[in-house]
Structure 1
Amino acid sequence: MKTDRKIELRKQLKKSGEASIWETNISNLVAKIYHSMMPEQIEKLNTMVANKPDISTLSSKHISIAWPDEILVDEEERCVGFLMPYVDGKTLVNVYNPIKREKEARGVNWRYLYGVAANTALIVKALHAKQYVVGDIKPENFLVNSEALVSVIDTDSFQIPKLTEGELLEVYRCPVGSKEFTPPELIGASFIDSIRLQAHDNFGLAVIIYHLLLGGKHPFSGRWTGEGADPSIDDLIHQGSWLYAPNSKLQVTSGTIPLEILHPKVQEYFHQCFTQGHSNPNARPGAEAWFRVLKEAYEDLADCGAEINHQYSKHYGRCYWCEMRQKLGGHDIFVPLGPKFTPSKEIHFPAPKKNSIPVKALIGAGVALTSAAGLIVTLNLSSFQTAETLQLPTLPCRNEPLPPSDFEDNRLALNEDLNRPPASGRGSTNLYNSTGLYVARYDGEFLNSERNGCGTLTFASGTRYVGEFRNDKFSGLGELTWKNGDRYVGEFENGKCHGRGTYIFADKTFTSGEWRYGDKVGSNLTCNYGG
């Protein structure tokens, strides 16, 4: 298959010894142009184009597998490369390595990393379902975005089966591999002459998951206590000598994050892969099994009460990251964002503070949502954007509030006529807290002596709500604006931000998404400020 379109190569994005990646005149498609091609490479690409896996995820705009889309030929009809979807993101090392994470992705936390691990497993699962083998499975070949959605690249290096009438006739082999991610049975072997198995991928996948969950450490690293010079990681892989192997000659170091902080089933899977799997590759858990156990472990996470960027396994019972911070003299491998905010029970509250982290580097926590097809976990996370082109819903209520000067004295209401709300129709009334302190004024519609319909509630603190009310509460569409300029526009229920909504900060950055009873789904941002 070849494209009948004329493709314009506009800008070279990347160059390697094998090929170059080019921006093209077609939106969201890039071209991979080889310096030279062998006949077998062309056959392999034609097979891949004709047998595409499901490259989409829950998000229709996200590409999880950068698969060849169309063959490209030159004017002499010679194959020169292929078109593929453009994917963007950070390599996994930028989110699991604490030093790189502090510079590249400051809002990342353990919940996010669990989501990345689960998404990576599901991509491998989707490939294995089509009998493809990644072969060179390594962190550099996986990119992740701010929502923990993962994309695999360099797909033309995969091992691809050639099927004729359902029978496997031959495979187009994966000619490459990477140190420290190659299983013991392939160490020292010629990759170009080796048939890769899914069990081989399962080893590399487990190493990546270990990196993601345990601070970027390799399972076959530690302090060597055996005889002679320190062996390389590949030597230890070949021997089966990982940190928690029986009679291991590796010992933990001061920087080791203990395996015991993980969910027990995750611990068990690492033992199956690196201990039993050393002599029996088929004992290694597969990608689908990894996804199931990671999802269970994700749901077992608890939030730390002292630091909103910390989570811990309920099985472990306490926040290890707080313990580690104390051991490291106050240094936190997850950028601290402060204690979880719990508003008081007064009727008016200060505006919540946005995390003080760079907008472009922000990656937050998330919530897992499994697609009907079971393909991917989507984590809707706090990814702030600029509000230059923000489209907000049209609000049905646009009451004009009284000027703030009418509310400067919040100690008592001077106008006694406003202390008795009308039974129905339009009117105004003052609101007080349980101690008799004046806190707000309502101007709008009433029904059965309650705020019902369109109205404006202006607090003595300067906070203001304009929108729909039901039974004295914010319910329906509305806009809540704080004195500092922050505002929320969207749906409310029972006095809380609930449903679809957008939080716009005073600096014109914003975050949109789903809210549940005052909390943004998959984020530490709260909006529990109702009347």
Structure 2
Amino acid sequence: MNNLIIYDEQRQPRRLGEQIGSGGQGDVYALAENPNIVVKIFNQEKLQERRHELREKVFVQIRVLEDLIKSPYVTWPQIEIFDSNDQWIGYAMKKAGGIPLSKLAHTMLYLKYFPNIDRKGIVQILLHLLDTVESLHKKEIYLGDINLGNFLADPSTFKVYLIDTDSYQVKNARTSQIYTCPVGRPEMTPVEHHGEAFDKIIRTLESDLFSLAILMFQCLMLGLHPYSQVGGGNPVENLRGGNFPYGRGGFPPGEEGGIPPGPWFIVWSHLSFKVKNLFINTLKQGVNDKSKRASIEEWRGVFQEYYFAMQSGFLSSEVRPAERKISRDGEDRIVW
């Protein structure tokens, strides 16, 4: 569709520039006359199946723009767009910048895409992400499909941009109708929603808190999924069983049921005691008890403390420390 014409809400023609993204729902193009604006055009198959539903949801999203339009970090639908036959085909939004978090949460790629980052930078990224997600939660907007590909981080500012926001769960304030998030990944989804079709799930605050904890664990642990373990099935099976192999009482690293061999235990040992506790509370105790899942406020507090501990030299700020941490004061004793 490159260099073709689409039409805005006033049915004024707009020329598309280069394609800059593609996914299961549709394709994203820069606007030729303004590269800071991008256009998402849904796939014909999706439009044939769900045109009315998709448009209705995007229309509801556009109506809650007041604060979101002011944030450069949320690529929220702003303007409906149409084809030459006056058929609705998608929407326009602001362009996001940055590198997918999947490049940060990787044992090697972080060196290429985030060459100057240390662990303080990763914590800054997570703090900014938490602030933006909290602003959405206050509007009863839940992300649902939380994964490393749906967030972009700027390597120089450590700010995070949220993309694919048309999938978010939103509520029509006038009718109270909920428009669900129709996509997701089982390995990122809390156990209470397993066995349901994604488009039927009603996401909650606790849903997002669980999925966010998995994503933040991956960012801090070089991409490792928190439910990966030796000989214990795949992450989805371990998630369902609450088999989080970290914390006291677990199996030694590298042994059956324990943390996989590699740098993972070393990295885990250098996390602050309070950060570890929130992961254990959320991803072990919180699998079946939603009240144990750490809040954004709790995460913000421990990450701020962790940042200052690194800045003060009390904890290592290396992304990949060479040796495990041995505590001087006993608070952070080496445990599995």
| TM-score (norm. length: structure 2) | 0.82
- Please state how far the C-alpha of 1:9 moved relative to its aligned partner: 1.1
1:123-173 deviation digits (Å, cap 9, x = unpaired):
211111110010000010000012100001000011111111xxx622111
Q: Is the CA contact (8 Å cut-off) linking 1:122 and 1:288 kept in structure 2? A: no
1:161 to 162, 166, 171: 171
The residue number in structure 2 matching 1:51 is: 64
Q: Is the CA contact (8 Å cut-off) linking 1:53 and 1:126 kept in structure 2? A: no
The residue number in structure 2 matching 1:529 is: none
1:202 to 209, 214, 231: 209
SS of the equivalent of 2:67 reads coil
What runs of 5+ residues in structure 2 fail to find an aligned partner?
1-7, 252-256, 325-336
Task: Give, in whole Å, the separation in 2 of the partners of 1:56 and 1:45.
Answer: 14
- Please state how far the C-alpha of 1:247 moved relative to its aligned partner: 5.0
- Please state how far the C-alpha of 1:180 moved relative to its aligned partner: 2.0
**Partner amino acid, structure 1, of 2:245:** L
Task: Give, in whole Å, the separation in 2 of the partners of 1:90 and 1:56.
Answer: 22
What runs of 5+ residues in structure 1 fail to find an aligned partner?
225-229, 304-311, 328-531
The residue number in structure 2 matching 1:99 is: 108
Task: Give, in whole Å, the separation in 2 of the partners of 1:273 and 1:184.
Answer: 12
**Partner amino acid, structure 2, of 1:170:** Q
- Please state how far the C-alpha of 1:96 moved relative to its aligned partner: 2.8
Q: Is the CA contact (8 Å cut-off) linking 1:56 and 1:64 kept in structure 2? A: no
Task: Give, in whole Å, the separation in 1 of the partners of 2:248 and 2:282.
Answer: 14
**Partner amino acid, structure 2, of 1:31:** V
The residue number in structure 2 matching 1:269 is: 278
Q: Is the CA contact (8 Å cut-off) linking 2:98 and 2:152 kept in structure 1? A: yes
- Please state how far the C-alpha of 1:41 moved relative to its aligned partner: 0.8
2:238 to 236, 240, 243: 236
Task: Give, in whole Å, the separation in 2 of the partners of 1:169 and 1:56.
Answer: 22
The residue number in structure 2 matching 1:325 is: 322
The residue number in structure 1 matching 2:78 is: 69
1:344-369 deviation digits (Å, cap 9, x = unpaired):
xxxxxxxxxxxxxxxxxxxxxxxxxx
Task: Give, in whole Å, the separation in 2 of the partners of 1:258 and 1:211.
Answer: 11
Identical amino acids, percent of aligned pairs: 25
2:218 is aligned with 1:211: yes
The residue number in structure 2 matching 1:133 is: 142
Task: Give, in whole Å, the separation in 2 of the partners of 1:323 and 1:141.
Answer: 24
| TM-score (norm. length: structure 1) | 0.53
1:451-493 deviation digits (Å, cap 9, x = unpaired):
xxxxxxxxxxxxxxxxxxxxxxxxxxxxxxxxxxxxxxxxxxx
SS of the equivalent of 2:97 reads coil
Q: Is the CA contact (8 Å cut-off) linking 1:241 and 1:248 kept in structure 2? A: no
Q: Is the CA contact (8 Å cut-off) linking 1:245 and 1:275 kept in structure 2? A: no
- Runs of 4+ in structure 1 off by over 6 angstroms are none
- Please state how far the C-alpha of 1:282 moved relative to its aligned partner: 3.1
The residue number in structure 1 matching 2:161 is: 151
- Please state how far the C-alpha of 1:14 moved relative to its aligned partner: 2.4
Q: Which moved more, 1:48-57 or 1:80-89?
A: 48-57
Task: Give, in whole Å, the separation in 1 of the partners of 2:16 and 2:88.
Answer: 15
The residue number in structure 2 matching 1:455 is: none
Rg: which structure is higher? 1
Task: Give, in whole Å, the separation in 2 of the partners of 1:114 and 1:46.
Answer: 35
SS of the equivalent of 1:30 reads strand
- Please state how far the C-alpha of 1:323 moved relative to its aligned partner: 9.5
Query: Closer, same or farther in 2 for the Cα pair 1:56/1:288, shift >3 Å?
Result: farther
In proportion to residue count, which structure has more helix? 2
Task: Give, in whole Å, the separation in 2 of the partners of 1:10 and 1:302.
Answer: 44
Query: Closer, same or farther in 2 for the Cα pair 1:20/1:254, shift >3 Å?
Result: closer
SS of the equivalent of 2:140 reads coil
**Partner amino acid, structure 2, of 1:35:** N
The residue number in structure 2 matching 1:296 is: 305
The residue number in structure 1 matching 2:334 is: none
Query: Closer, same or farther in 2 for the Cα pair 1:127/1:243, shift >3 Å?
Result: same
Task: Give, in whole Å, the separation in 1 of the partners of 2:136 and 2:206.
Answer: 13
The residue number in structure 2 matching 1:392 is: none
1:34 to 42, 45, 54: 42
SS of the equivalent of 1:116 reads helix
1:85-128 deviation digits (Å, cap 9, x = unpaired):
11121111212323111222221111100101111111211111
In proportion to residue count, which structure has more strand? 1
Query: Closer, same or farther in 2 for the Cα pair 1:128/1:320, shift >3 Å?
Result: closer
Query: Closer, same or farther in 2 for the Cα pair 1:244/1:177, shift >3 Å?
Result: same
1:206-243 deviation digits (Å, cap 9, x = unpaired):
1111122223222212323xxxxx41100000000001
SS of the equivalent of 1:279 reads coil
Say how many residue pairs are matched: 302
Query: Closer, same or farther in 2 for the Cα pair 1:56/1:156, shift >3 Å?
Result: closer
- CA-based RMSD: 2.4
Task: Give, in whole Å, the separation in 2 of the partners of 1:20 and 1:323.
Answer: 36
Q: Which moved more, 1:120-129 or 1:240-249?
A: 240-249
Task: Give, in whole Å, the separation in 2 of the partners of 1:6 and 1:248.
Answer: 62
Task: Give, in whole Å, the separation in 1 of the partners of 2:226 and 2:136.
Answer: 25
**Partner amino acid, structure 1, of 2:135:** A
Q: Is the CA contact (8 Å cut-off) linking 1:211 and 1:217 kept in structure 2? A: yes
Q: Is the CA contact (8 Å cut-off) linking 1:210 and 1:218 kept in structure 2? A: yes
- Please state how far the C-alpha of 1:7 moved relative to its aligned partner: 1.6
Q: Is the CA contact (8 Å cut-off) linking 2:120 and 2:311 kept in structure 1? A: no
Q: Which of the pair has the greater relative contact order for Cα pairs under 8 Å at 6+ separation?
A: 2
The residue number in structure 1 matching 2:27 is: 20
SS of the equivalent of 2:146 reads coil
1:299-333 deviation digits (Å, cap 9, x = unpaired):
22236xxxxxxxx6x2x5xx485994368xxxxxx
Task: Give, in whole Å, the separation in 2 of the partners of 1:187 and 1:301.
Answer: 38
